Amino acid sequence: MMGNNMINCRRASVEEAKAKCVEEMETLTLILGNPQQNSTSRKDSSWLRLKLKLCAKTASLVSLVLILFVATKGEGLLFLYDRSSPPNTTPISSAISSKEELKVHSLMKMCVGEEVAPIPSRFQNVYSKIPPEMGRAVGCGIDYFRSESEWIEKQQETICSPTVDVYAWLVDKVNCFGEGYSLITAYGELIHLLRDKALLHPNGTYIDDDFDTWITRPTLQMILNLEPYLWSNFGWSIRLFYSCDKSVVFAQLMPVCGHKYQKQMSKVNAQYPAIELYILQKVYRNGEGWRLRDNWGGNSFPLSWLVPARNYQYGTMNLQIPAQSEKILDCLYGNWHVFSKGHSRISLECKNRVKAGRH
């Protein structure tokens, strides 16, 4: 019976195949999740796993990944990416379905606790366009969420919240959103957490001039959706960096206070440090498998170095850090245990078999 169903799934139309694969993954969930199932039923799960591979090319992204997460108890699935993608590409639907919009709306209401104002159309579904694989991104433009007139008016009427308060709030919301949404501590902030055990000096001043994070593209969209709340309650907003093909490769969250509105690519100069959002893209390497690549800096890492992310308790914040933080820092900085004014290297292919030296 299993074999016949597999053949039928292969021959079915696209829509039928989607429905069949989802139904079969639900069956797999029941088999794996029920300890009372007999051994024969559990053996059948191996057939269902094989059928997943055959049907995944047509199964819908959201349904397939969420069901598979339950069926496999979440092993290796932190990001909402299509694992059936052919090598070297990471296609994501160019339009968010009404079902997905409902899910996002529900998450926002559940995690924020109130309705958040709608956002302009140009900031909706920003991760539909995936940048081509390349070295370090070449920025060709910046787009602020707010107009210059809104910015100037806001500066005259608001008191901005400190970075650590905004960061704590954002971490809490991303953790609430659940699987597929990540805000992973990166670069300099990761060093400060692991080496210095702090993001602030004892006197309350900031150790670094920004907060570095790695995020998934769905996380970027959710942060954009949260901008009206950040604007109204914290006095913060966001600007996006675009590559020359008009895909988003980097973003900065910043306080309006003390920041001069300027559409040029630079570090944020403001009353408090910005939160920098380095967007991760899943790429494939022959002989190595899947990797996660920072589109702005051009650095890429084995998938297992970053996910599943680990929890790191810092004060009241439950931060996310990479699965293998020390390997990442060794590759990027060399001897990061010793203080240095140097920055991370760029366009690196960090690998398990290579230990990069400091430069």
pLDDT digits (tens, 9 = 90+) for 322-345: 999 999 999 999 989 888 777 677
- What mean pLDDT is reported for the chain? 76
Strand, helix or coil at 132? coil
Contacts of 222 (CB under 8 A, 6+ apart): 104, 107, 108, 173, 174, 177, 181
Residue 142 near residue 264 (C-beta atoms within 8 A): yes
Confidence of residue 214 (pLDDT cuts 50, 70, 90): very high
Longest dimension (CA), the chain: 71
Q: Kind and range of the H or E element at 126?
A: none
- How many whole angstroms from its chain centre is CA 250? 12
Confidence of residue 58 (pLDDT cuts 50, 70, 90): very low
Per-residue pLDDT at 11: 39
Is the predicted pLDDT of residue 212 greater than 80, yes or no?
A: yes
Work out the burial of residue 148: count CB atoms within 10 Å of its CB; fewer than 13 is exposed, 13-18 middle, 19 or more buried. exposed
Tokens of 274: 């910005």
The arithmetic mean of pLDDT across residues 248-269, rounded, is 93
Is the predicted pLDDT of residue 84 greater than 60, yes or no?
A: no
Confidence of residue 165 (pLDDT cuts 50, 70, 90): very high
Per-residue pLDDT at 243: 85
Confidence of residue 7 (pLDDT cuts 50, 70, 90): very low
Q: Kind and range of the H or E element at 54?
A: helix 39-55
Cis (ω within 30 of 0) for the bond into 308?
Answer: yes
Is the predicted pLDDT of residue 195 greater than 90, yes or no?
A: yes
Residue closest to 317 by CA, chosen among 154, 217, 185: 185
Per-residue pLDDT at 95: 37
Per-residue pLDDT at 304: 95
Confidence of residue 238 (pLDDT cuts 50, 70, 90): very high
Cα–Cα distance measured from residue 50 to residue 60, given in angstroms and rounded to the nearest whole number: 17
Contacts of 109 (CB under 8 A, 6+ apart): 115
Per-residue pLDDT at 294: 93
Contacts of 223 (CB under 8 A, 6+ apart): 170, 215, 238, 251, 253, 277
Per-residue pLDDT at 244: 84
* pLDDT above 90 as % of the chain: 46
